[in-house]
Structure 1
Amino acid sequence: MPGIGKSVTLVFHNLAKVLHKRGHQVYVIVGSNFPIPDSTKDGSVNYLTFKTDKEYIFASEEFQRNDVKDMIQSDGDMVTNFRMVRTASEFFTYQCAEMLEDQELFVKLLSLKFDVAVIGAYPFLANCQILPYKLDLPVISITSFTSLLGQAGVPLLPSVVPSLFTTFNEDMDFMERVQNFMITLVSNFISTPSIPAELVQRHVSHKPIKTFNEFLRDSILWLVISVNPALEPIPTLPNVILLGGMGVKQPAALPDHLEAFVQKFKSQGVVVVSFGSVVKYLPTEISKRFLGVFSKLKYGVVWRYSGEDLGEIPPNIKLMSWLPQGDLLAHDSVKVFLSHCGNAGLYEALFNGVPVLAMPIAGDQPYNAERLVKRELAIKMSHCGNVFS
């Protein structure tokens, strides 16, 4: 499947390593411009690429400077969320088409004689379902979109299961249930894509035409990487495995330069700041405001940052373009994690017992933040316009 983001790739890599250790050969399909994480190049996964002529969406300057800013200033509201999903959908739909048209890739896939395909069950990867159909492969669906589990037969009643596009939790009052019901109806309508019949016909002319929901219903197994029963109740079935936290690994020692910085603040403590792999950098004016606040803290601050030059950096702040996030959160000097509440960071913080200062931006992040706040594991920071509270 075309790579969605580095964090999802890292989670899948943990699964691939286990499969590799048990004697399986694992191949991952990505676009030729996808930034493959170096940590996954350990021999357990083989990457196959298809030709693409579009810049990877989350690496583009337009997305980082405009879309990210809009998402931050909207405080994760539903309209902006839908708009972001639509923007991503347009890009990944185009990439799926490129993958299906790559005959060199298809010949290679035929020669490898696969036993099963693991496909990302996401609305914006709908057209990718055609590839395993063309190869006559059974499909395992892997997803963080719990709303799609209805296609696996799971009874996701909106009276008790909050939509990903809300910040409700399982303790909804009557009016919240009414709102959740309406939002679920609208989101299911908007976020359920249609796979063009002519596209299926062109690539698999000898088989019946199928819809996206029909493809999903044919999945032999579902792996849900966003839910852990310890964090929230959710109805499930025997063919659904809840793997929230699958991306968490046992910590390794920190690099010497990072360990030295952390040790300088051993008595005061360290704050870790990261907004995930999709947000390359925050808008400069917001980053400078963070810098001003961090400079007044008694704590050390390790900040994943790769944006524009912020000028002189105070001695209690260490900027890094990449963080060994899980290893750092496991350090006993870390006191707080300022995070967007993506799935990977959420479970790394939980695993290591680090409280979260949540600044959700888009997607399922507002929902994730609410799950933590509900259980008193986080405090949510609102950010509307240029006001933070």
Structure 2
Amino acid sequence: MCYFLGAMPLQCVSGIFVLYSLCLLSFSPHCDGGNILVYPVDGSHWINMKILLQELHTRGHNISVIRSSTSWYIPEESPLYTSITIEMDEDVEDFFDVFLQEHLRAQRDGTSLLTFFKLTKGFLSMIARAHLLWSDATNQILNNKTLVKSLKDSQYDLVLVDPAIAPGVVLAKHLKLPLVLNVRWITSGEGHFVLAPSPLSYIPVPGSGSTDNMSFFQRVKNMFFYSLVLFQEKFLVGPIYDAMCDKYIEGGCNIVSLLQEADIWLFRSDFVFDFPRPTMPNAVYIGGFQCKPAQPLPADLEDFVQSAGEHGVIIMSLGTLVNTLPKEVTEEIASVFAKMPQKVIWKHKGEQPSTLGNNTLIVDWMPQKDLLGHPQIKVFVAHGGTNGVQEAIYHGVPVLGIPLFFDQYDNLLRLQERGAAKIIHLADVNGDTFEEGIKEVLYKDSYRQNMHRLSRLHKDQPLAPMDKAVFWVEYVIRNKGAAQLRTGAYKMPWYSYHSLDVLLFLISSTTLIFFSIIVMVRYLCYRRRNTKPKQS
């Protein structure tokens, strides 16, 4: 027998390595290609879902995607999946665009209390309308016995759902299939609030604009925003799904209980980005799973970037939903860019600003991930969408944020609290404030240093986020669910969950014992007085 590698003949070494490799393969989890039904959400959410589907397809899984006939981004024909198209009575994008334009105009008018209530009313109305449209569309599936039979005959292993719109959650329950959520948002806000204990004393509600270190009045504000979440859940969105549950789920249900029955929650977040908080065993954090090392830029774009020399490049993008800012804002921003020694790449559609400088390249689309990974990029001017923020963290590029709506301010606030970003509200954007902000992020070293630190922390993981996501999807396929990871707390009445019945019992028992002792003492005293011998 050989004891030392240096003393081994070549054939012996080769044989041992072959044996070692076979052992590794035999102990690795095995999963044949699964059959996955996907119910996504359109827009920027689809960008995330598609990246996950590409990886699942690469690993041999068969995928079917439910899409609407008016889908913005989800094509009917794709090499990745087979599509199931349902008719939509109205294009969600139409009234969504109207909401966005009104929202931008209201922000420019100021941030008064009246503006806040106007924006909140418009947002809640739009959300309820979108849920109703999608629920009506999904009824087409559930009412079509032939299609339902086809779905059952397809023998899907699980349903993968983005629960920001939740008819897919009801469909999974109706088909009695395991459920995996690709999630950050659910029907009533951030997913953790129905998954895990969420003390409002240090967990900020999205929209509150608070961190995990709140003053008394910030906690009051946090409670107010949570009441809006409950209102949305109980009175706007909940009844829509309650009607679906009553009709299609035996015994009825509600959307929160269905979400809590999900086997795995793939959270598009991590604690480098988010504030620490309680969580659950079936929550898997895959923040930044879409991020990859930068690929080479197209030749013309690379030439433009390199022409910046030592000054570097600023890039600006407002994501997929907003093509342009109000005209007066774009004119101010363009004039500031024109004065900068840096080159600028600006994703902008619509009328070209009259103040545009020769150093600024306007594009309809940019390879954002590859640009952020280029060493010439100095600052990312962004709206604060989750994808862009996580890509900036991955590549270590500091951010000047102009939040527009939804969770964007909260996303940017997390970076600002860690010293990696600066926020300018849309109402405050003018030539002076924008120039001051861009120069601060460019020339103050702490922004880049702090973002580099976040990047190192994000990458310092035992397993890449995408590998975690795929592992847990395949885990559910292999084990036909993950019921052992779900807590039984969801099935407890609220008074039992908070131990109010136990507290009432203890208080009652203690009170009973206390009064029993008092009664006994008084009785003994009374007997003693009555049995005392009389003096003659």
TM-score, normalised via structure 2 length:
0.65
Kindly report which structure 2 residues correspond to 1:352-363, keeping only aligned pairs within 5 A, or say none: 352-363=395-406
Greater CA deviation, 247-256 or 360-369? 247-256
Matches of 1:170 and 1:286 in 2, distance apart? 32
| AA of the residue aligned to 1:70 | A
1:64–1:281 CA contact under 8 A, matched in 2: no
What are the Cα deviations for residues 47-92 of structure 1, in whole angstroms up to 9, with x where unaligned?
4321223224269653454344335655698542563253143124
Alignment CA distance shift 1:277-1:58 (3 Å): farther
Q: How far does residue 35 in structure 1 lie from its aligned partner after superposition?
A: 2.4
Q: How far does residue 291 in structure 1 lie from its aligned partner after superposition?
A: 1.7
Where in structure 1 are there 5+ consecutive unaligned residues?
A: none
Matches of 2:108 and 2:181 in 1, distance apart? 31
Matches of 2:159 and 2:320 in 1, distance apart? 25
What are the Cα deviations for residues 258-294 of structure 1, in whole angstroms up to 9, with x where unaligned?
1121111132111110111111222233222222222
1:70 aligns with 2:106: yes
Where in structure 2 are there 5+ consecutive unaligned residues?
A: 1-37, 434-536
| AA of the residue aligned to 1:143 | V
Q: How far does residue 309 in structure 1 lie from its aligned partner after superposition?
A: 4.0
| AA of the residue aligned to 2:136 | A
Kindly tell me the number of residue pairs found equivalent between the two proteins: 383
Q: How far does residue 22 in structure 1 lie from its aligned partner after superposition?
A: 2.7
What are the Cα deviations for residues 108-135 of structure 1, in whole angstroms up to 9, with x where unaligned?
534432111122222xx23443222222
* Aligned mate of 1:34, from 34, 50, 71: 71
Alignment CA distance shift 1:59-1:355 (3 Å): farther
Instruction: Give the match for residue 184 of structure 1.
Output: 226
Q: How far does residue 191 in structure 1 lie from its aligned partner after superposition?
A: 4.3
| AA of the residue aligned to 1:35 | W
Q: How far does residue 253 in structure 1 lie from its aligned partner after superposition?
A: 1.2
Kindly report which structure 2 residues correspond to 1:77-88, keeping only aligned pairs within 5 A, or say none: 79=117, 80-81=119-120, 83-88=122-127
Q: How far does residue 41 in structure 1 lie from its aligned partner after superposition?
A: 8.1
User: What is the root-mean-square deviation of aligned Cα atoms in Å?
Assistant: 2.9
Matches of 1:108 and 1:72 in 2, distance apart? 51
Instruction: Give the match for residue 319 of structure 2.
Output: 276
1:121 aligns with 2:163: yes
1:273–1:338 CA contact under 8 A, matched in 2: yes
Matches of 2:109 and 2:42 in 1, distance apart? 22
Kindly report which structure 2 residues correspond to 1:1-389, keeping only aligned pairs within 5 A, or say none: 3-36=40-73, 43-57=79-93, 62-63=98-99, 65-71=101-107, 79=117, 80-81=119-120, 83-102=122-141, 103=144, 106=148, 108-122=150-164, 125-145=165-185, 147-152=190-195, 154-192=196-234, 193-196=237-240, 197-202=242-247, 204=248, 207-229=250-272, 231-311=274-354, 313-384=356-427, 389=433
2:329 is paired with a residue of what secondary structure?
helix
2:182–2:265 CA contact under 8 A, matched in 1: yes
Alignment CA distance shift 1:136-1:380 (3 Å): same
Matches of 1:59 and 1:46 in 2, distance apart? 29
1:228–1:243 CA contact under 8 A, matched in 2: no
Q: How far does residue 248 in structure 1 lie from its aligned partner after superposition?
A: 1.3
Alignment CA distance shift 1:128-1:293 (3 Å): same
2:366 is paired with a residue of what secondary structure?
coil
Greater CA deviation, 160-169 or 52-61? 52-61
Matches of 1:73 and 1:301 in 2, distance apart? 28
Matches of 2:309 and 2:233 in 1, distance apart? 47
Q: How far does residue 328 in structure 1 lie from its aligned partner after superposition?
A: 0.6
1:90 is paired with a residue of what secondary structure?
helix
Matches of 1:73 and 1:45 in 2, distance apart? 45
Alignment CA distance shift 1:109-1:251 (3 Å): farther
Alignment CA distance shift 1:253-1:89 (3 Å): farther
Matches of 1:132 and 1:353 in 2, distance apart? 39
| AA of the residue aligned to 1:183 | F
Larger radius of gyration: 2
| AA of the residue aligned to 2:200 | P
Matches of 1:355 and 1:12 in 2, distance apart? 26
Share of identical aligned residues, percent? Answer: 24
2:331–2:355 CA contact under 8 A, matched in 1: no
| AA of the residue aligned to 2:55 | V
Matches of 1:261 and 1:42 in 2, distance apart? 34
2:268–2:285 CA contact under 8 A, matched in 1: yes
TM-score, normalised via structure 1 length:
0.88
Greater CA deviation, 225-234 or 328-337? 225-234
Matches of 2:205 and 2:356 in 1, distance apart? 41
Matches of 1:99 and 1:337 in 2, distance apart? 39
Matches of 2:390 and 2:308 in 1, distance apart? 25
Greater CA deviation, 170-179 or 372-381? 170-179
1:326–1:348 CA contact under 8 A, matched in 2: yes
